[in-house]
Structure 1
Amino acid sequence: MSADDFEVGWGDEGEPDRTADTLNDVDTRREAKRKKTQDVDITAAIEQAVEEARPGLHKVPDPVEPAGEGELTDEERQRYEECLDGVDLGNVAWFIQGKALDTIAVGRLFRDTPHKLEPERNYDTIEEWAPLEKGISVGQCSKLRAGWEIGEVIAARDYKSNPGQVRELVPVKNAFGLKAAIAVYVLVVEAVGADKVTAERVRDTVKLLPGDLKLDEDEDVDALARTIKGVLVEELQPAASRAIPPAVTRAVDQTAIKIANALDRPRIPRSEVTLRLMEAFADPEDTTVFDVVLDRMKEAEKAAKKAAKKALG
């Protein structure tokens, strides 16, 4: 046996060297395997994120009796937080549902759906479709459709509203526009704080709006809120009246009698008293009467603003 029998070669002379191809094949398979593993990881992460974001009853703890009295246990606190998330979800989902219903209604997207009770024809209106297809009453459907825009804009301003609060703003939207409705909500928030807004507070504020309220629809929400606040403060101030209250008239007459007695006169006409009061009020050298009147008017203004703030809050 010769040494040539033990020679190890990478190929016969004249044949191509396939070592590089073999290594390339290995690298390609490894890269494909790595990419496949990466794709699986990404897909799993996406599925997990979707599951975490998806609402569902399985995420809400089952009802159980209290663990005891007083402070919550750590487990109860966790269950409480999970339940609050479910409640907040409902306060967001309602205007999503309203927008969906409004889109279906406006576009008449039900028009080629066979009527559930009369299959020979399709639905004609959202009022037919909603109760039969989704179990939503006509009244509830109307409320959801009317309020979703308000709820959406309020949420965009990082406020947490609920259907009850928004329902109180629908008449404002119908009468003065969407921005005016949001402005009223902003006004209530500024008066009482975002965490103390209730449907009742919103309703009480809406009731104060005058029927002939004039608003510039081109103004932004915050400017409209300032305008509405100014109108409400003015509306709540005591209205100026030419009629003198009876109690004041009696007091003037009694005081006039005292002046008549001091002057040894049988009587002093009310018109003369009024004239002398006006002269004293306008006297540039003696401002006594002017100062008294000014002080009383300041007190009246202060009382009116306090009443307005109380009404808004």
Structure 2
Amino acid sequence: MSEFELGWGDEEEPDQTADTLTAADHSRQEKQVAQIAAAVNSAVEAVRPGLDKIPDPVEPAGDGELTAEELERLELCEQGLALHKTAWFMAGKSLDTVATGRLFRRTQHKLEPERCYTTIEEWAEVEKGISVSKCNQWRAAWEIGEVLMAREYDAVPGQVRELVPVKNTYGLNAAVAVYVLVADTVGANKVTAARLRETVKLMPGDLKLEDDEDPDVLAKTIKGVLLGELPPSGVPAIPPAVTRAVDARAIALANNLDRGRIPRSEVQLHLLQAFADPEDTTVFDAVLDRMKKTSNPK
């Protein structure tokens, strides 16, 4: 080694130090991972549903105010009941998904092993112990419950069941609209199955609703019909004077076109097409102007 070359002792020492630091880092990382895993497991356990989390029935501590322990027991029981509501809708959606995709089709029949299940009702009853009526009931109701929960309504299964006939007749949005109507009328926290049932009974048999309408719009339409402000069609009745004027103009239109009688439906079709024309807004502007004058009369 040249006199100008400096040595720093054993050249292996830096590598050994690095190895020591690396081991320490690994140890810290492992502890952090273990702590995170423990925290995750604790959080999962805290939200895990289970019968063991519901307090066992015991006699009351007294006749007066609930003790702190009793209040805690009540809170846990209320959480269990809330879980039941969600589980009810989840069961309905699960059954509907299995039914729609016929996911039971390759499951061997428990009582007749030589064949597979052929219907969702058979699969649910034999495999899961769910009666045919319950299976159909849950499947019919879960969509309503899902939408109401998404809209932050505290709807319970008993209330949702009252809306199933509306869904079957008019569609999902109409069923939600009935709940919205009752909630807006009496307050969301005062909606009951009985109130929903009575509202459904009041809906006329010849009521016509468009299910692609927003539930809030449908709620206003249903309210108008129930109050007698709108006919069952949901569309404001055309005054006789306006009908006569339209018929007279239709005759004038036929004369200008050198045609015979022009049906009112044909006139309406052309009016709607002109109203929706994005390139020529003449009719749209005229309607807008008339509606402004009607809404803000001077």
State the TM-score, normalized to the length of structure 1: 0.69
Query: Hey, what's the Cα distance between the residues in 1 that align with 2:147 and 2:167?
Result: 12
Q: CA deviation at 1:10?
A: 5.9
The within-5 A match list for 1:11-90 is 11=9, 17-90=11-84
| Unaligned 5+ runs, structure 1 | 1-8, 238-313
Contact 2:221–2:230, Cα closer than 8 Å, also in 1: no
1:47-76 deviation line (CA, Å, top 9, x unaligned): 111111110011110000011102111111
| Aligned residue number for residue 225 of structure 2 | 231
Structure 2 equivalent of residue 132 of structure 1: 126
Q: CA deviation at 1:218?
A: 3.0
1:191 matches 2:179: no
Partner of 1:158: 152
| Aligned-residue CA RMSD (Å) | 1.7
Gaps of 5+ in 2: 1-6, 232-298
**Structure possessing the higher radius of gyration over alpha carbons:** 1
The percentage of aligned residue pairs carrying the same residue is 63
Conserved 8 A contact 2:90-2:142: yes
Contact 2:178 2:200 in 1 (8 A): yes
Match of 1:174 among 168, 173, 176: 168
Residue 211 and residue 74 in structure 1: after superposition, are their counterparts in 2 closer, same or farther (change >3 A)?
same
Counterpart Cα distance in 1 of 2:121 and 2:219: 35
Q: TM-score, normalised by structure 2?
A: 0.73
CA shift digits 1:14-48 (9 cap, x unpaired):
xxx12211111011111111111111111111111
Aligned residue in 2 for 1:121 = 115
2:138 alignment counterpart? 144
Mapped to 2, the partners of 1:218 and 1:178 lie a distance apart of 9
Task: Determine whether 1:222 maps to 2:222.
Answer: no
> Residue 103 of structure 1 aligns with which residue?
97
- Partner SS, residue 227 of structure 2: helix
User: 2:261 — aligned with what?
Assistant: none
Q: What secondary structure, in the 3-state scheme, does the structure 2 residue paired with 1:186 have?
A: helix
- Counterpart-to-counterpart distance in 1, 2:87 and 2:70: 26
Paired letter, 2:46: E
CA distance in 2, matches of 1:49, 1:108: 36
| Other structure's SS at 2:14 match | helix
- Higher relative contact order at CA 8 Å, sep ≥6: structure 1 or structure 2? 1
* SS of match in other structure, 2:195: helix
2:204 matches 1:204: no
Letter in 1 for 2:37: T
Do 2:177 and 2:216's aligned partners in 1 also have CA atoms closer than 8 Å?
A: yes
Shift of 1:201: 0.6
Counterparts of 1:87 and 1:137, CA distance in 2: 22
Is the 8 Å Cα contact of residues 91 and 138 (structure 2) preserved in structure 1? yes
> Could you say which residue in structure 2 is the equivalent of 1:298?
none
Cα deviation for residue 227 of structure 1 reads 0.9
* CA offset digits 1:122-161 (Å, max 9, x no partner): 1111111111111100000000000000000101111111
Q: How far 1:112 sits from its partner (Å)? A: 0.8
Partner of 2:248: none
CA distance in structure 2 between the aligned counterparts of 1:99 and 1:66, rounded to whole angstroms:
39
Q: Distance in 2 between matches of 1:218 and 1:121?
A: 42
Once residues 97 and 219 of structure 1 are traced to their aligned partners in structure 2, the CA distance between those partners, rounded to angstroms, is 28
Deviation at 1:11, TM superposition (A): 3.7
In structure 1, give the amino acid aligned to 2:206: D
